[in-house]
Structures are given as C-alpha cells and as structure tokens.
Structure 1
Amino acid sequence: MTLRVGAHASVAGGVHNAVDEQREFGGNCGQIFSHSPQVWQDPDIDPDNAAQFRDISEEDDIGPWVIHASYLVNLATPKDDLREKSVASMQREVDAAETLGVEYVNVHLGAHTGAGVEGGLNNAASALDDLDVPEGVTVLVESDAGSGTKLGGDFDHLRAVLNRSAQDLEVCLDTAHAFAAGYDLSTPEAVEETIAEFDDVVGLENLACVHLNDSKHECGTNKDEHAHVGEGLIGEDGMRAFVNHGAIREVPLVLETPTEDGKDFAWNIRRVRELRE
C-alpha cells in the first residue's frame, strides 16, 4: 500500500501552484486554504487554474486534497449573524472543492460561547445540515485541543455531530489536538489505547484524514502548538507507533508542522517516511 503523506500548501499565484509546491515537499496528498483564512472572503479560483490543479494532481498522483475552512467559521455559535456567515463561508468552500475536484473540506466545530456543550453540538449539526454539499465532496469535522468553550476536544463531541447531522460527515483526527485534549499518544501502549477509544466512540470507519502534528505542550493542557514530527512531547516512539498502526496505514496524513529550526515541511515528510516501517 502507498503511504499518503503531504502538507499544507500555498495557493499564492494560483491554486495550481499548490500542486507544484507539494511535489517540492515530496508529498503525495495535501491541504490548502481556498483564500486567506483570517477574513470572510470568497474563494478566488480562476477556471484555468482549477483545470491545471485537477490535471496536474491526476498526472502526478497527488491526492486526496483537503480544503481547510476559514478560521472565522464557528458552527457551534448561538449568534445568528455569525452562524449565517459561517454557513455561507462553508457553502463557498464545498462549492470550491467541487470546482477543484477536491474530496474533502475540513472544519472545526467551533466554540459554543455560552450555549453549553449540548447547545453548541446541536448548533453545529444544524449549521452543517444547512449546506448543499455537492456529490463527491465530504465535510470532515476536526478534533480540537479543547480550550475554552471550543468543541471537538472530546471524541464524544465528534460522535454526537455525526449522529445529529443528516449530512454524510467524516472525521479528521489531529494528533497534536487530541494529545492536548488529553488523549495520550506518546508511547506505543498509549497509541493503542487512544486509537481503540476513537474506534469505540467515533468509529475508525469514519476517519478520513489525519493531521499529523507533534505537540509542544504536555498531554491534557489544551494548548494547541505544533512541533516537528518526533521532536515534540508526543515524541519519536509515539509518532512511530501511530503511523505504523494498522488502522492508520491507509489514512492520508497531512502535516501542519512549523517551519523553524532549519526544518520545513519537506523535512517533516521525510521524517514520516523514515518512521514508517
């Protein structure tokens, strides 16, 4: 089986450039933003660039791709205006994914900001149900580090939204987020226990993608800061056990690791390949 590992790539100068950048990283799958994630903005996708993106990805066997939703999206919000903006933004993302031939749009559930966990989960499921998701596109709900009133830190939150939404949703598990939320991944035994718990609660059949990131902070701190693969507090033993676990071997791994200490996405992708047995 082919190891699918890649990183978040830039669409600067045209979305087709992300494929070239992914090739330079040494990746064979990947993730993009369709626009700046810090603002409410329509995806700026030129039809010719979209065709190039699709064609080059197919020619070079790079995929699957994931579009990561804007950081401003908050599906769990009780505020009507923010909900409306969030749903509209997500609709534009799933439509962009259809245009690009991208399989997945990834989104955090967001923060309930006082609505309570159950209220926030209901809000998120309801907001997702308002989407008209094109055929061939799947929305992924991402695990979270769980700080403040953010939802998705507990696997139960992911399961609840899958149950309550009428959409055919799947899940993206972020290793740094899960670790920060209290799911240990630092030893082979811990990896086995955490993956078993994920399977019991969410179901491995619903795991479509992994954000493979090490963590700069201890397990259970709810602090979301990524580290290079094998060099954070998950560490080499945990990362090796995770990427070689039978349940993970066919799941695409997308890196959101930092660029620092002379190490970039290409270094981290090579590291994952070295750890894979």
Structure 2
Amino acid sequence: MRVGAHVSIAGGVDNAVGNELDVGGNCGQIFTHSPQVWQDPNIDDDEAEAFRDDTSESLDGPWVIHSSYLVNLCTPKDDLREKSVDSMQKEVEAAEKLDIPYVNVHLGAHTGAGVEQGLDNAVSALDELEIPDSVTVLVESDAGSGTKLGGDIDHLAYVLEESEQDLEICLDTAHAFAAGYDLSTPQGVADTLAELDDAVGFENLACVHLNDSKHECGTNKDEHAHIGEGHIGEDGMHAFVNHEDVVEYDVPLVLETPHEDGRGFEWNIQKVRELRDA
C-alpha cells in the first residue's frame, strides 16, 4: 500500500525524505517553494542528488510536486496566464531534476469568462508547456467554490481530452465531497469512482489526495479533517481505500490532513493502514 503525506522541504529538499519516513509514509508530496508567492524552485545539484539517492534507497514512491496556489490556468488575464505558465514550466523542470514523476495543479478560476472559455484557457495554457518525457502533469479535482473549475469530473475529462499533453488526474476526496460527490457511504464511493472511470478512465488516476472533510457534502467548503473523523467518516474512508480499483491499480494515497488535537500525519497514515482490509 502506497500512502504518505505532504511534507516540508525546510532546510533543503533532501530533508523531505526523512520527514516522510518520520511520519510512516512511503510516498509523498512537496512544494518546491512557498505556495503563496511567485517564486522559482531553488534546488542545487547536491540537494537534488541527495533527494534522488535517499528516495531510491528508502521510499516506494512516487513523489508529487504540488504547484503554487497562485497558478490559474483558467484565467482570461494575459499577465496572470503568463506567470502561471512560467511557474508550471519551472515546476516540471524541477520534477525532472529530482526524478519526480508528477506535478499536480488546480485548473483555477475563470473569473467571469465562463466555464467553457475557462476550460479552453486551461487547455491552451497546459499545451504551452514543454513537459519532460519523465514528468506527467496531474489536474486536481476542486471543491468548486465561486468560479473555480475542476469540481465537476466532466471538467477534468474535458481537459484531458482536449489537451495535446499526456495528462492524468489527482482526485482529492475532500474536494470531491465538497463539490457534491457523496463519498460517505460504500454506494456513494462506488458511484463516484464509476463516474470517474467512465469520464477519464481509472488508469488515468495517478494519485489521490486522501482527506476527510470538516464540512458537509456539496457545500463547496474546502477544509480537511482527520481520516474517518469528518463528514466523509470512517465508513466512506474504509470503502474508498478498499475499493477494488484503488487496490488493483495501487493508487498512491497522499494525505493533506490537519495537525491538530495532538495528531498529525503519523496518526492519519496509521489510520489509513488500519482501514485497509488484510
């Protein structure tokens, strides 16, 4: 079972490997820099080599790079589009340097341009990227608040179908739940993943952000809870991690759960392992 968490690279990207091991993970996710600012990855050759070597020796993988929160691929604004494409280009180049196979990105918000135009903006922005052969961009599902796109599985399917790039997806369980996909019951999990398979093909689900939700289904509110203790709950989480396709495809599960109530990633990763049936 491949399960891990989004860990810090403070002090050097190579520290992420030890941070992942400390919480009991065998795969994981990182930011290459602060996600709240426009900033290029600053990874020197020695750090990159240590990261690659330590990962190869100690983890099952994969790693995922999460792009900056400022990236907006759907934007109709030329300056924001240019910054977003440039930022993504730097991220896929960093992924190649680190031997990381995936860069994860939200589609962003159309901010009044409309759904169809926003999705077309995202497709054309992604098509501007020069993505190394060893790297795949993952389009992440969204909670769907405001004019943000990606809350509907059909949005993800459209981008994968229309883009010239070989894209895959990342499903965030808390985002999907917030967007109206009820993952709180075994039937709801089965229905949602069947719809996902029909729309994009399960083979294109490269990663799952496994998070519970502090808010009810369909509220479009994105706030993560400890595994099994939110509105998705233990029944939903158990059904998800044991779904036959999740198990068969050995989909990596990356946690972005909170650090509160004296519990953090280590507790949540152990909870996921306990939920997976023998």
Q: TM-score range by the shorter chain?
A: over 0.9
Q: TM-score, normalised by structure 1?
A: 0.99
Q: TM-score, normalised by structure 2?
A: 0.98
Contact 1:14-1:46 at 8 Å conserved across structures: no
CA RMSD of aligned residues (A): 0.5
Q: How does 1:189-204 map to 2 (within 5 A)?
A: 189-204=187-202
Q: Which runs of 5+ in 1 are unaligned?
A: none
Q: How does 1:84-233 map to 2 (within 5 A)?
A: 84-233=82-231
1:83 is aligned, of 78, 81, 84, to 81
Q: How does 1:66-77 map to 2 (within 5 A)?
A: 66-77=64-75
- Aligned equivalents of 1:234, 1:157: Cα separation in 2: 23
Contact 1:125-1:165 at 8 Å conserved across structures: yes
- TM-superposed CA distance for 1:61, in Å, is 2.6
Q: What amino acid is the match of 1:196?
A: A
Work out the number of aligned pairs and report it: 275
Q: How does 1:251-262 map to 2 (within 5 A)?
A: 251-262=251-262
Q: What amino acid is the match of 1:98?
A: E
CA-to-aligned-CA distance 1:62-103 (integer Å, 9 cap, x gap): 410000000000000000000000000000000000000000
Task: Among all aligned residue pairs of Structure 1 and Structure 2, give the percentage whose two residues are the same amino acid.
Answer: 75
- TM-superposed CA distance for 1:260, in Å, is 0.2
- Aligned equivalents of 1:112, 1:206: Cα separation in 2: 25
Match of 1:268 in 2: 268
Q: Which runs of 5+ in 2 are unaligned?
A: none
User: What stretches of structure 1 move > 2 A for 4+ residues in a row?
Assistant: none
CA-to-aligned-CA distance 1:102-143 (integer Å, 9 cap, x gap): 000000000000110000000000000000001110000000
- TM-superposed CA distance for 1:210, in Å, is 0.1
Q: What amino acid is the match of 1:152?
A: G
Match of 2:20 in 1: 22
Match of 2:36 in 1: 38
- Aligned equivalents of 1:133, 1:120: Cα separation in 2: 22
SS in 2 for 1:105: strand
Select between 195-204 and 110-119 the one with higher mean Cα deviation.
195-204
**Are 2:236 and 1:245 equivalent residues in the alignment?**
no
Q: What amino acid is the match of 1:20?
A: G
Q: What amino acid is the match of 1:193?
A: D
